[in-house]
Amino acid sequence: MSRRYDIKAIRDLLTRPDNIERVIADLYGSDAVREKTAYLVADASGGAGRSCKFETTGQFAGRFHDFNPAGTKPHGDLIDAVQCVRGCSTADAIQYLGDLLGAAPKLSVVQSKPKASPSAPTDDLDPISAETLRKNRARLSKAPKALAYLEGRGLAPEILMERFGVGLTGLFQPKIGDDGESKGHAITAPVMSREGTLIKRQMKIAVPGFSVNPVDTNSWCAGSPITAWSGPAEGKRWLFVAEGVKDLWRIYEAIRETSLVGRMAIITSTHGSGVPEEWKDPEFWTGWEKVFLGQDNDPAGEEMAKRVRQLAQREFFRVEVPREIGKDWTDFFEADDRQRGVPEFEQLLEAAPAIGVAMPAEAPTAPLALQDDGEYEDRRININGAFHSGQMYYPFQVRMVETVKRKRQAPDGSSFMVDVKASYYKTKVVRSDGVMLGISVAPAPHGVEDEDKVIVLDDGTEVLSVPKPREFSTWTWPSVQKFVKNMEEGKPTHRPTAEIMVDIVAYLRQLTWLPNDTDYELIAAYVMMSYAYNGFDAIPLLLLNGEKGSGKTTLAEGIADLSFNGQILGGGSEKAFVRFLDQGRGLLVLDDLEAAGRRGKDDGGYGDINQVLKVSYSKTTGVKSVVDQNGSTRMLNFYGPKVITNILGIDAVNATRMYQILCRPMPKAVKEEGRIRGRDLATTEPLRQELHAWGMANIAEANRIYLEKAANRGGRAEQIAAPLETIAEMTDDEGFIGAVKSAIERLAFNKSDNLTAEDLLIQAAETVVERGTRVSISLSQIQAELALIPEARTLDAAAAVPRDLLPLQDPATIGRMLKALGIRNDQSGRARLSGQTVRYYGLDKAFVAGVLERAEQEKRAVEDPCAALGPDMARQAFAFCEATRCGLCAYSTICEAALPQIREGKIAQDRHRSKPSPMPRVKR
């Protein structure tokens, strides 16, 4: 603090726009460029540019935010800016600002307080006397049990006594006539203030087996909760919040001889879980570069960290003791399984994940009553599921019941008032910090048209229109109330992310059967992503592709049951589609896209729906203007998660924005297991309510992780993968993360594993050999095997297949590729298979030998050869179909789609064979 000016008075002066502008002009001169209510410079240290933004009005007036990661400071206030520009200390910065702004100097540098009269109560926030400290220290030095207790926690009593004034209380005997028992022998520690002064307020700690009748078995303190500091805060840039004073002492002892002690202040509450009143003021948390929440890694610690997090509108960093070591920092520094120390502690600080909300780039709006008269920018938003200024908004409707007065007329003609029960629906909005907001039309001067009136929330957020969530809202009123109550009380609003994800995956596995197992994890991540999709700039769409009876509709319905405002549009009109996108703002299922939105035979596509899909994956391209029938123009937001089901696939442009999930008829063995039970609303509804709370509580964290991932991603494939990778990372489950990444790599339209058409054909041919073929191979079996490989995309519509995989669609090209790759020899022919003419080829002996040799080396089982069928090459090649019943065939799940004519022919042959032979006629 300056010797001449009061820092609080300087901070008050720096809240006025004229003073802020005066300081910016003096510090940066012509380098500072005005933009609306802010000034832009290159860096907090100065220079011409636009990376660093200073606000002059609003909640963050006098503060700056540097968007350049390499900048001098990411954010701070004008006192920090002065230090950056002038390279001076905080005291010198206060001196400079006081001189510049003409602040009134302090009347007296040292002001002694008048002595209190003997009868006046003493203030326990005054400095503690040296005599009291001496007596307490003397008692502690003569108490071996108390010293042993401290040493057992890794604390050095001599450091505690010298630095923190730690001592021991005496034994207090009750007076004659008083009820009670003797008390005392508790470790006592005066609270250290922000300036580093030891005050009269003292914390007490019980020593097991030594303290006499302690108030608490752990620790306690008289009075209301206040902050205990590790030393003077002046000049320190980091703040570490410990759960208790013993952890504060242990961390200080560890870092006291390192550079970290000069950078970081440590604080705790004097009352454990009690929150000091000053922590409830956001100003307490400003001015620190980083604030670490270092509470224990148990439920009580997590709850305390969440309570602190909710008190300030800034970013926090959560740092925990690794769970395999212990729960608190005493456990961490005293662990004897391997060497621990400050270097590892600093690594934990560096790796600590950010939680909460960083200072917004633009000051949030204020309630209308607090806004000054003037002109403002049009900042209306669609409030349906919006993510705005670090907060998520969710509108819903409740039914109100009120008693109102109504006029009634008596038989004699007189009138009187009676109480009548009235009921109506009211739209409300809940914010992700647990605040409930009303919505209203702001008063306007006489003559203002209705379309020009402002629709505003209680917090000042302007919205495009009053939301109508009745048909689309899936978050129930009791669940909203529970979320708000938990936020107010600082309780967890949901289970850990990993536990919720386990339940989603389990439900999807009982919902339907998928041929690719990791698709369950990818879909589960997509479901959870739908609750935070507004925190991402681009998201993928899902395409569920398969023939009739493959379970794609059941899967789509199950996804809608679990997802954010999930709705199903099956064969509906484009008007219904647009209406949901505008008002529902959640996950939309387009079931049977072949029918949904198709205008006619000559349209050649899916009408306007197909065009909307092309832009709806991106937040920037998803906002479009449409013209109503009455000629008025509206801005609609088409951005959001969508699930599409169809048989024919999708066009090449939309395919680049989608992950295609292959759905196939359920194998007989899976049916017999009985684990597939279909939709179950009794399971999905409670899960969806919890997911709503999860989305509100975690969207800011999801946005932070996503921005880090998306910063260095340029291609569309990488952009749409980032949201799912973000959700997977939030589970902190390595198995789940690996499954999602594996599914993304397999499903990505642009190849990430460099598989070529040749690679896929070789893989198919090798598998055919392992299934038992040795002499010859049929084109039909090759096509069936390729259909089982999702990357080959042979079941897709031709327009949706990447150009480098198109050769796998052409039978003649496949034959030439088999020859060029050395898979077949020069022998070939045609024969009838189930009534169809099919080409077959002779297999190269060297290729077959190589496949069998690798299988033996890798100890993989291969099926028996078909030598018993004789030398006929055609019968050898067709054995995969002729010698196997359909129910046991390896290709039963894809046969109808990949080999439809052969399947129909075989069914017809089997039906013919099963008919009884006609009785021969008998000549008479």
Q: Which of 606, 569, 664, 523 is nearest to 799 (CA)?
A: 606
**d(C-alpha 897, C-alpha 515), whole Å:** 15
Q: Which residues contact 162 (CB under 8 A, 6 or more apart)?
A: none
- Give the pLDDT confidence of 767-790 residue by residue, as tens digits: 898 888 889 999 999 998 888 876
For residue 800, is pLDDT > 60? no
Q: Which of 745, 730, 729, 716 is nearest to 654 (CA)?
A: 716
The pLDDT value recorded for residue 362 is 40
Phi, psi dihedrals of residue 634, rounded to the nearest 5°? -125, 145
The pLDDT value recorded for residue 157 is 92
Q: Domain 224-364, what fold?
A: Dna Topoisomerase Vi A Subunit; Chain: A, domain 2 (3.40.1360)
**d(C-alpha 556, C-alpha 591), whole Å:** 8
Q: For the residues 650-668, what does the mean pLDDT come to?
A: 79
Confidence of residue 120 (pLDDT cuts 50, 70, 90): very low
The pLDDT value recorded for residue 350 is 86
Q: For the residues 47-61, what does the mean pLDDT come to?
A: 83
**CA 17 from centre of chain:** 37
The residue extents of the domains of the chain are: 7-101, 123-173+181-192+199-218, 224-364, 497-747, 757-911
Alpha helices in 199-315 (DSSP H): 245-255, 260-263, 282-285, 299-309
Structure tokens at 43: 């860096």
The pLDDT value recorded for residue 603 is 41
More confident residue, 747 or 284: 284
Q: Which amino acid is at 227?
A: T
Q: Which of 453, 920, 527 is nearest to 691 (CA)?
A: 527
Task: Quote the pTM value.
Answer: 0.48
Phi, psi dihedrals of residue 550, rounded to the nearest 5°? -90, 0
- Strand pairing class (75-77; 63-66): antiparallel
The pLDDT value recorded for residue 892 is 77
User: Which DSSP letter does residue 415 get?
Assistant: E
- Give the pLDDT confidence of 536-557 residue by residue, as tens digits: 988 999 999 888 888 899 999 9
For residue 749, is pLDDT > 50? no
Phi/psi-derived region of residue 413, left when phi > 0, alpha when psi is between -120 and 50, beta in every other case? left
Structure tokens at 220: 């306690």
**d(C-alpha 612, C-alpha 638), whole Å:** 7
More confident residue, 249 or 384: 249
Give me the chain's average pLDDT, please: 81
For residue 754, is pLDDT > 80? no
Confidence of residue 150 (pLDDT cuts 50, 70, 90): very high
Picking from 278-282, 325-329, 597-601, which range would have the lowest pLDDT averaged per residue?
597-601
Q: Which of 417, 388, 422 is nearest to 405 (CA)?
A: 417
- Give the pLDDT confidence of 680-733 residue by residue, as tens digits: 999 999 999 999 999 999 998 998 898 888 766 656 778 889 999 999 999 999
Please say whether the dihedral angle defined by the alpha carbons of residues 385, 386, 387 and 392, taken in this order, is positive or negative. negative
Structure tokens at 189: 């520690």
How many angstroms separate the Cα of 745 from the Cα of each of 12, 331, 539, 870? 55, 42, 16, 44
How many angstroms separate the Cα of 611 from the Cα of each of 450, 614, 634? 33, 5, 18
| DSSP string for residues in 418-469 | EEEEEEEEEEEEEETTS-EEEEEEPP--TT--GGGSPEEETTS-EESS---G
- Strand pairing class (38-41; 33-35): antiparallel
Structure tokens at 2: 């300056």
Q: Which amino acid is at 582?
A: D
- Give the pLDDT confidence of 457-499 residue by residue, as tens digits: 887 888 887 877 777 789 999 999 999 988 888 788 999 999 9
Contact (CB, 8 A) for 298 and 243? no
Phi, psi dihedrals of residue 353, rounded to the nearest 5°? -75, 145
The pLDDT value recorded for residue 854 is 82
Helix axes 734-747 and 519-529, enclosed angle (nearest 10): 100
User: For 7-101, which CATH class?
Assistant: alpha beta
Q: Which of 548, 550, 530, 549 is nearest to 539 (CA)?
A: 530
**Tokens 């001599």 -> residue:** 158
For residue 427, is pLDDT > 80? yes
Q: Which amino acid is at 340?
A: R
Quote the strand ranges of 183-229, DSSP E: 183-184, 187-192, 198-205, 219-221, 227-229
The percent of residues above 90 in pLDDT, for the chain, comes to: 26
CATH fold match for the domains 7-101 and 497-747: no
Structure tokens at 207: 């020593």
Confidence of residue 68 (pLDDT cuts 50, 70, 90): confident
Structure tokens at 129: 């006397």
Long-range contacts of 865-872 (CB under 8 A, 24+ apart): 865/772, 865/773, 865/774, 866/772, 866/773, 866/774, 866/775, 867/774
Contact (CB, 8 A) for 215 and 187? no
Structure tokens at 320: 């925990």
Residue 780, helix vs strand vs coil: helix
For residue 596, is pLDDT > 50? no
Contact (CB, 8 A) for 444 and 454? yes
For residue 795, is pLDDT > 70? yes
Structure tokens at 601: 């035979």
Alpha helices in 657-751 (DSSP H): 668-673, 681-710, 716-731, 734-747
Phi, psi dihedrals of residue 22, rounded to the nearest 5°? -65, -40
The pLDDT value recorded for residue 728 is 95
Q: For the residues 813-839, what does the mean pLDDT come to?
A: 91
**d(C-alpha 609, C-alpha 638), whole Å:** 10
**CA 887 from centre of chain:** 44
Number of other residues whose CB lies within 10 A of the CB of residue 709:
17
Alpha helices in 15-102 (DSSP H): 17-28, 78-86, 90-101
Number of other residues whose CB lies within 10 A of the CB of residue 687:
15
User: For 497-747, which CATH class?
Assistant: alpha beta
- Give the pLDDT confidence of 239-279 residue by residue, as tens digits: 999 999 999 999 999 898 888 888 899 999 998 778 888 88
Confidence of residue 858 (pLDDT cuts 50, 70, 90): low
